[in-house]
Structure 1
Amino acid sequence: MKQFLFDLDLSYEQCEQFYSGHIESIQVTSHSGKTIRIPANRFRSFITPIGIKQQFKLKLTDYNQFISLEKIT
Structure 2
Amino acid sequence: MQRLRFRLAISQAQLLRYYQGRVAALSVNTEQGLRLQVPLHHFRGFVGHNGLNGYFEIELDGQNKLQQLSRLS
Query: 1:14 offset after TM fit, Å?
Result: 1.1
4+ runs of 1 displaced by more than 4 Å?
A: none
Unpaired runs of 5+ residues, structure 2, are none
Identity over aligned pairs, percent: 25
Alignment of 1:1-73 (within 5 A): 1-73=1-73
Q: TM-score w.r.t. structure 1 length?
A: 0.93
Is the 8 Å Cα contact of residues 18 and 41 (structure 1) preserved in structure 2?
no
State how far apart, in whole Å, the 2-side matches of 1:39 and 1:29 are: 14
State how far apart, in whole Å, the 2-side matches of 1:38 and 1:26 are: 5
State how far apart, in whole Å, the 2-side matches of 1:68 and 1:14 are: 24
Cα RMSD after superposing both structures: 0.9
Count of aligned pairs: 73
State how far apart, in whole Å, the 1-side matches of 2:19 and 2:9 are: 17
Q: TM-score w.r.t. structure 2 length?
A: 0.93
